[in-house]
């Protein structure tokens, strides 16, 4: 069996994984870093981000306190005020660093950042690259990372499980599956999980196919605290094209630009729920749309941008306009059908203010982590920001606490793996699960059938761990489904007092 060694293993090549690697290698070129990613380097949610990054840059019209209050209000009062303040205050520095590494964002005629307005923000503060901010972020970060020869990127390598060892357990790396179907361990004293979200639990999602919650599922299997899995955010305005998976997003910035949400009777019905109408936070807008759909029996509502200047619309949203046109809905001429779709996992693997999980040796950052930033509902464009800040915090912690003292032991025996179930069954069951989870969230299915399906499937996988990615993803989706349902049935949100307790345990275990 092949065994690979590194100082640091990073799982995931989105904004969290890449910015973490760049920061570490810029400050300590001696480090040997292995980055595993299950697809191509740039494939992940980061690349599809549209709206942008929320940062207070306009000190005349905006201030940190306002961004902090908007974030706390969106969170339903569940975000951790200390974490929110830390992230918001660091935002300008992290953004400038991103620009230093090669990212370009739109400027206005005065050469100042062009700031967009999005739902839940009191003022325009979203830095963007037209409507494809994520593409620019992914392009610049992957180019910057690839300049470091010390970074070995293993693309199309799937992280199966964490390598946990010792009487007082530590994380010492992870098991990977090579594109040839061979499992092998990467042994490293420090591992970062940066595996993104789990939108693929649902039949309608804006998340790419890779978003199957693999890091969170691996953490659950390793008994590492994972919080608030049920706080899944649905984006209100994904293009409604039945059967299309993933769903194309119509960015929230469109509504900030003046587009309306209307029903089949052309009414702007959102004002009945919230005086901010289209500019309420996305949980409120989504619930109002669901209510409208259930009352009217319709499958979709519409984004109406016909009253806006068509040239300005095309200039600001070239990607959205082009995609909608291709799908047969020119937004400058017709209403575009939209419906809510699963978008973002607000909960995840517990981390403290340094990105440390409770398991020594293991950090988490980005969408797979629960840092205390989002509470029940994330404010628009706070996710890329949170990922940058926590990747930075984790890197800084590692650089100031050299971890490379003890070499983790080599796992005694490889995982028992064999060829999986025929992919056709795997795909069928994944679709079934996605539909059930969607129905569960819409309140038209109780949990019994989901628990039965996921438990049976997991039992199969316990007997025969497959060595194909589709089956391993299904295994993770089943773990996630059970976790989401367990949290949803209790309905509770992890409080900040309980986070403080976990922070104390984390401190104790790491020392
Ligand atoms: P990702 O970018 O999703 O990267 C995850 C990485 O982990 C990938 O490289 C993947 O291959 C790898 N991976 C996963 N599992 C495994 C495994 N088992 N083995 C190996 N590798 C694995 N947020 C904002 O702040 N502003 C926006 O404008 C915005 N727009 C969005 C638009 C869309 C359509 C979507 C889907 C999301 C948007 N978000 C936005 C959310 C934001 O993009 C994500 O939360 C963020 O990019 C997540 O970054 P990440 O690094 O955590 O994960
Ligand atoms: C969007 O552009 O609407 C997505 C923004 C986000 O997810 O924060």
Per-residue H/E/C for 21-39? HHHHHHHCCCCCEEEEECC
Q: Supply the pLDDT for residue 416.
A: 60
Ligand 1: nearest atom to the Cα of 37: 21
Q: Is the CB of 345 under 6 A from ligand 1?
A: no
Ligand 2 site-directed mutation target among 54, 211, 235, most atoms within 8 Å of CB: 235
**Which residues lie below 8 Å from residue 149, measured CB to CB, with a gap of 6+?**
none
Which residue lies with its CA nearest to atom 53 of ligand 1? 196
Ligand 2: nearest atom to the Cα of 384: 8
Which residue, chain included where needed, has tokens 């440390």? 356
CA distance 511 to 504: 11
Burial track 374-389 (b if 16+ CB lie within 10 A, e otherwise): bbbbbbbbbbbbbbbb
Which residue lies with its CA nearest to atom 51 of ligand 1? 14
Ligand 1 site-directed mutation target among 10, 44, 185, 245, most atoms within 8 Å of CB: 44
Tell me the two tokens of residue 502: 């976990």
126 near 253, Cβ under 8 Å? yes
* Pairing state between β 226-227 and 348-350: antiparallel
97 near 103, Cβ under 8 Å? no
Q: Supply the pLDDT for residue 1.
A: 81
The DSSP element (H or E) to which 131 belongs, if any, is none
**Which residues lie below 8 Å from residue 474, measured CB to CB, with a gap of 6+?**
426, 429, 430, 433, 457
Q: Supply the pLDDT for residue 443.
A: 84
Collapsing DSSP to helix, strand or coil, 262 comes out as: strand
Ligand 2 site-directed mutation target among 253, 303, 385, 387, most atoms within 8 Å of CB: 253
| CA of 134, nearest ligand number | 1
Compute, in angstroms, the gap from residue 462 CA to the centroid of ligand 2.
38
Active site residue 109: no
Answer whether 0.85 is exceeded by the pTM.
yes
Marked catalytic residue, from 130, 170, 282, 430: 282
| 20: nearest Cα among 473, 375, 368 | 368
Which residue lies with its CA nearest to atom 10 of ligand 1? 12
Q: Which residues of the chain have pLDDT under 50?
A: 414
Q: Is the CB of 473 under 6 A from ligand 1?
A: no
Which residue, chain included where needed, has tokens 């994984």? 17
Quick one: three-class SS letters along 335-390?
CEEEEEEEEEECCEEECCCCCECCCCCEEECHHHEECCCCCCCCCCCCHHHHHHHH
Q: What is the largest CA-CA distance in the chain?
A: 67
| 119: nearest Cα among 260, 303, 236, 255 | 255
| CA of 248, nearest ligand number | 1
For 151, list phi and psi in degrees, rounded to 5. Answer: -95, 115
In eight-state DSSP terms, residue 270 is: G
C-alpha pair distances (Å), 302 with each of 35, 242, 250, 291, 324: 41, 15, 11, 14, 12
Tell me the two tokens of residue 510: 């790491």
């Amino acid at each position: 069996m092949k065994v690979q060694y590194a100082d640091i293993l990073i799982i995931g090549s989105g904004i969290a994984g890449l910015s973490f690697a760049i920061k570490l290698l810029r400050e300590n070129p001696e480090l040997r870093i292995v980055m595993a990613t299950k697809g191509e380097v740039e494939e992940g949610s980061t690349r599809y981000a549209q709206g942008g990054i929320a940062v207070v840059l306009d000190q005349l019209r905006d201030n940190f306190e306002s961004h902090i209050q908007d974030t706390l209000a969106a969170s339903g009062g569940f975000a951790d005020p200390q974490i929110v303040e830390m992230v918001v205050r660091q935002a300008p520095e992290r953004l400038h660093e991103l620009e230093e590494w090669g990212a370009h964002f739109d400027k206005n005629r005065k050469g100042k950042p062009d700031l967009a307005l999005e739902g839940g923000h009191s003022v325009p503060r979203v830095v963007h690259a037209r409507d494809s901010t994520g593409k620019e972020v992914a392009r610049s970060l992957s180019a910057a990372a690839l300049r470091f020869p010390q970074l070995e990127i293993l693309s199309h390598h799937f992280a199966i499980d964490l390598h946990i060892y010792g009487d007082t357990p530590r994380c010492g790396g992870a098991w990977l599956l090579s594109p040839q179907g061979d499992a092998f361990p990467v042994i490293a004293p420090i591992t970062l999980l940066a595996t993104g979200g789990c939108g693929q639990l649902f039949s309608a999602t804006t998340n790419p196919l890779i978003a199957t919650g693999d890091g969170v599922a691996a953490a659950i299997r390793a008994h590492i605290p994972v919080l608030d899995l049920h706080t899944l955010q649905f984006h209100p305005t994904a293009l409604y094209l039945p059967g299309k998976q993933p769903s194309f997003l119509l960015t929230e910035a469109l509504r900030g630009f003046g587009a309306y949400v209307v029903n089949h009777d052309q009414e702007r019905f959102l004002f009945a729920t919230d005086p901010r109408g289209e500019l309420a936070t996305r949980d409120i807008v989504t619930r109002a749309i669901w209510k409208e759909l259930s009352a009217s029996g319709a499958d979709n509502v519409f984004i109406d941008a016909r009253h806006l200047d068509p040239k300005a619309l095309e200039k600001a949203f070239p990607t959205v306009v082009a995609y909608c046109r291709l799908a047969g809905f020119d937004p400058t001429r017709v209403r575009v059908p939209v419906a809510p779709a699963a978008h973002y996992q607000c909960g995840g693997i517990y981390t403290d203010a340094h990105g440390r999980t409770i398991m020594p040796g293991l950090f988490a950052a980005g969408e797979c982590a629960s840092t205390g930033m989002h509470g029940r509902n994330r404010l628009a464009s706070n996710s890329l920001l949170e990922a940058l800040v926590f990747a930075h915090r984790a890197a800084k912690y590692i650089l100031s606490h050299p971890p490379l003292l003890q070499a983790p032991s080599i796992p005694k025996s490889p995982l028992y793996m064999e060829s999986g179930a025929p992919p056709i069954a795997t795909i069928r069951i994944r679709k079934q699960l996605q539909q059930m989870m969607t129905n569960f969230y819409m309140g038209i299915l109780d949990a019994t059938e989901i628990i039965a399906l996921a438990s049976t499937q997991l039992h199969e996988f316990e007997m025969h761990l497959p060595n194909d990615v589709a089956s391993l993803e299904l295994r993770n989706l089943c773990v996630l489904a059970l976790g989401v349902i367990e949290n949803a049935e209790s309905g509770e949100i992890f409080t900040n007092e309980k986070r403080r307790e976990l922070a104390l345990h984390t401190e104790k275990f790491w020392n």
